[in-house]
Chain A
Amino acid sequence: MSATQQKNTCFTKNPFLDHLGFEIEKQDNKDIVIKLSIDLKHLNTNKTLHGGVHASMLDTIQSLALKEVCQSNVAVMNLNVQYLSAISSGVVSARARINMLGYKTAAVESAIHDEQDVLIAKGSGIYKIIRSSNK
């Protein structure tokens, strides 16, 4: 874990992330990590983390990682989520990696791990980069 972490200002501006309780941290190496402390409100009736929470977390980390690199707004076109392990409590963390960065589109992948580094879900997405010169 990085010695100095700062909360992303996006967290306070984004009502949905605030509503879900995502904590966004930027580490020393400039990697962005989203953390979520799992609460009852995040669970389905099977008492496991709801699939919509994984998808929200993966899309958020992918778009934040992309925005950080291209310094432009981005819009998701396609999101694929693989659900690999069920989880009911604790803290989960999401990280992303940019696989392809073009002028107008990008391909990003991401993963969610638990505190024991068990892989919980994997995501991949195609994003449109909304550059100011594209309007």
Chain B
Amino acid sequence: MHSKRNGKNNGENGEDALDRRVRVEANESGASFYDYLGFIGEDDDSGHSFRLELPLQHFLLQEDGTVHPGVFATMLDIVMGAAISKATSSFAVTINLNISYFDLDPKQTYIAETSILFGDGKYVTADGVIYDQNRKTVAKATGTFKTNPKSSSISIDKEMEAG
């Protein structure tokens, strides 16, 4: 099940329905810049994943009509950081981001999905993919993030150790 929200509505009516972990993730998915580019986030209740949607708008384009690569970098940074924040209940600081671009031609809607690859202590690595509305891959990234998980919170390390 997915619960959809726009960053602009955080803190209003919908927020009471979110549990604490989701609230942490929602809050730390990059609110200001997140809002400014018009992202719509979705929580995936099935695990440590986060789904992000971006409807195409004119200000996301370059002078040649293609999408600015920074839009996809932002989208991948947000989606990976949000999934890691959700898993560790901690703000995820980006250390490294490596993006491969496959198609910068403008599409109607973009959807980003992520999965966490590895967590070791404070450092967590995730990958992210951006699809267009036809599920064609347009960009892919790997990112390494630094977290500061509290001892009382669920961390990826503990889950991995337990597993």
Q: Which residue of B lies closest to A45 (CB)?
A: B31
Q: Is A71 positioned at the interface, with any CB of B under 8 Å from its CB?
A: no
Give the complex CA separation of A42 and B29 in angstroms.
13
Q: Given contacts A15-B58, A55-B73, A55-B77, are A83 and B63 in contact (CB under 8 A)?
A: no
* Docked-complex contact A16 and B60, CB < 8 angstroms: yes
| Most-contacted residue by chain B among A41, A44, A79 (CB, 10 A) | A44
* Docked-complex contact B60 and A50, CB < 8 angstroms: no
Mask, B54-76, CB within 8 Å of A = 1, is 00001111111010111101110
* Docked-complex contact B73 and A52, CB < 8 angstroms: yes
* Docked-complex contact A79 and B99, CB < 8 angstroms: yes
Give the complex CA separation of A75 and B60 in angstroms.
16
Collect the chain B residues with CB atoms within 8 Å of residue A19's CB. 36, 59-60
In the complex, what's the smallest C-beta–C-beta distance from A16 to chain B, in angstroms?
Answer: 4
* Docked-complex contact B74 and A50, CB < 8 angstroms: yes
Q: Which residue of A lies closest to B96 (CB)?
A: A82
Give the complex CA separation of A53 and B32 in angstroms.
12
A57-95 CB contacts (< 8 Å) to partner B: 57, 59-60, 73, 75-83, 86
Q: Is A98 positioned at the interface, with any CB of B under 8 Å from its CB?
A: no
Q: Is B137 positioned at the interface, with any CB of A under 8 Å from its CB?
A: no
Give the complex CA separation of A105 and B73 in angstroms.
21
Q: Which residue of B lies closest to A124 (CB)?
A: B98
Q: Is B93 positioned at the interface, with any CB of A under 8 Å from its CB?
A: yes
In the complex, what's the smallest C-beta–C-beta distance from B20 to chain A, in angstroms?
Answer: 16
Collect the chain A residues with CB atoms within 8 Å of residue B27's CB. 45
Q: Which of B32, B36, B69 touches A59 (beta carbons < 8 Å)?
A: B69
Q: Which residue of B lies closest to A75 (CB)?
A: B104
In the complex, what's the smallest C-beta–C-beta distance from B57 to chain A, in angstroms?
Answer: 9
Interface residues of A (CB under 8 A from B): 10, 13-20, 40-46, 50-53, 55-57, 59-60, 73, 75-83, 86
Beyond contacts A46-B91, A53-B70, A78-B101: 16 other A-B pairs, Cβ-Cβ < 8 A, are A15-B62, A41-B32, A42-B32, A45-B28, A45-B91, A50-B33, A51-B81, A56-B69, A60-B68, A75-B104, A78-B98, A79-B73, A81-B96, A81-B97, A82-B95, A82-B96
